[in-house]
Amino acid sequence: MKKVLIITAISGFLPQFEKNNVKLLHEAGCEIHYASNFKNPIYTFNEEDLKAQGIRLHQIDIAKSPFKFATNLRAVRQLLRIIRENDIEIVHCHNPMGGVAGRVAAGLSKRKPYVIYTAHGFHFYQGAPKKNWLLFYPAEWLLARMTDILITINREDYERAKRLPLKTGGAVFQIHSVGVDKERFIPKREINEEKRRELHVPADAFHIVTAAELNKNKNQKVIIEAISTLPQKDIYYSICGKGQEETFLRKLVKEKGLENRIRFLGFRTDMQEILQTADCFAFPSYREGLGVAAVEALLCNVVLVASDNRGTREYAVKGKNAFVCKADSIPEFAQAIGTLYKDKELRAKMSQTGRTSAMEFTVGEVEKTMKKVYDKALTWRIG
């Protein structure tokens, strides 16, 4: 039985995004271990549910910030112990610091486990600040030498990853996100009025939905600012997620006098229902590796109002299924929202293309690639 260690810097990442990979590993007869910082959850999850699935949990004191050197060095030492004591043969790491700590630990370990890293969006990319290139690119170049398989989730990162010096016999794969469940996220012909009442959104209001961690990169503030410039008083905005920017965003909403129309819903497990209430889905991030939440919206035939970045370019087609704006342009977002508000026929026409454009990002398609990845890893050292 192969023993696989999954590492994430964000606790709850595995049950939120890696359920299908867990399924594939279980089907292959693997023993699964999961290491993360469970003291700092971003996504709601139940540890007992994971244990009931046979997943062994390991607390590590990893931090998202690369500048918390002492904390992350401690996480590397903790991972070394986990690998040694549990005879780990395959390490699959996620998130930037999960990828750093996991690969360094695997490289230092006497066991030399097979290393898979899923890059959910390199911090160095076309148009990225120079400091990102100076800090993150050299680090990734060095860490590539400790990597057997590097997985990217967009084309730009895939092309760049192919030029990195992986371990001998290493390979680069591209997947379209972590795979979205097309049976869970389905379009309905009419707005879910019952769910709107639950969310305190009037039946005839124009409803914008966002689902993302509340941080500066996700840029929810630009939508708040855009709504504040529009004359219509029946535009409502539901912000799903939690994070360190919530206090700032709530203050901004209050300053704009929008408390009655902008809702902070926290982390939600019923996004498939909330999306059925939406007239459009706002996705204004400065940077995205891909953006699962936006793909979920498209599968529900919800039109996107998105920023232009390498992640959204994978699926957001201007004039077809999305309005595409500059991330920091309040006027562009306001114009997009205003146009969709006024033109119901255009909104209906654009929404009909959403699901078709998102099908390549569904679980079945991603599973085909991940099965190849795990087959390669699981046959390592056989014979």
* Amino acid, single-letter form, for residue 29: G
The per-residue pLDDT for 188 is 81
Burial 338-373 (b: 16+ CB within 10 A, else e): bebbeeeeebeebbebbbebbeebbbebbbeebeeb
Average pLDDT over residues 343-354: 93
Is 147 in a helix, a strand, or coil? coil
Query: What number of other Cβ atoms are within 10 A of residue 191's Cβ?
Result: 17
Confidence of residue 381 (pLDDT cuts 50, 70, 90): low
Query: What number of other Cβ atoms are within 10 A of residue 254's Cβ?
Result: 11
Kindly give, in sequence order, each residue whose CB lies less than 8 Å from that of residue 117, ignoring residues fewer than 6 positions away: 92, 93, 94, 99, 102, 103, 143, 147, 149, 150, 151
Contact 8, 94 (CB under 8 A): yes
- Percentage of the chain modeled with pLDDT above 90: 83
222: number of CA atoms within 13 Å, CB side?
26
Contact 311, 341 (CB under 8 A): no
Residue 155 tokens read as: 């084309």
Separation CA 203–CA 372 (nearest Å): 47
- Tokens 């595995």 belong to residue: 14
pLDDT, tens digit (0-9, with 9 covering 90-100), for 255-271: 999 999 999 999 999 99
Residue 130 tokens read as: 């120079």
Separation CA 11–CA 321 (nearest Å): 33
Which is nearest to 37 in space by CA: 68, 3, 75, 5?
Answer: 75
Kindly give, in sequence order, each residue whose CB lies less than 8 Å from that of residue 345, ignoring residues fewer than 6 positions away: none
Q: In angstroms, what is the C-alpha Rg of the chain?
A: 21
Kindly give, in sequence order, each residue whose CB lies less than 8 Å from that of residue 333, ignoring residues fewer than 6 positions away: 222, 223, 225, 226, 282, 284, 305, 325
- Percentage of the chain modeled with pLDDT above 70: 99
Kindly give, in sequence order, each residue whose CB lies less than 8 Å from that of residue 130, ignoring residues fewer than 6 positions away: none
The per-residue pLDDT for 228 is 98
Is 273 in a helix, a strand, or coil? helix
* Amino acid, single-letter form, for residue 232: Q
Separation CA 108–CA 91 (nearest Å): 13
Handedness of CA 6, 11, 15, 18 (dihedral sign): negative
The per-residue pLDDT for 383 is 38
Separation CA 104–CA 102 (nearest Å): 6
Report pTM.
0.79
pLDDT, tens digit (0-9, with 9 covering 90-100), for 283-327: 999 999 889 999 999 999 999 999 999 999 999 999 999 999 999
pLDDT, tens digit (0-9, with 9 covering 90-100), for 192-224: 889 999 999 999 999 999 999 999 999 999 999
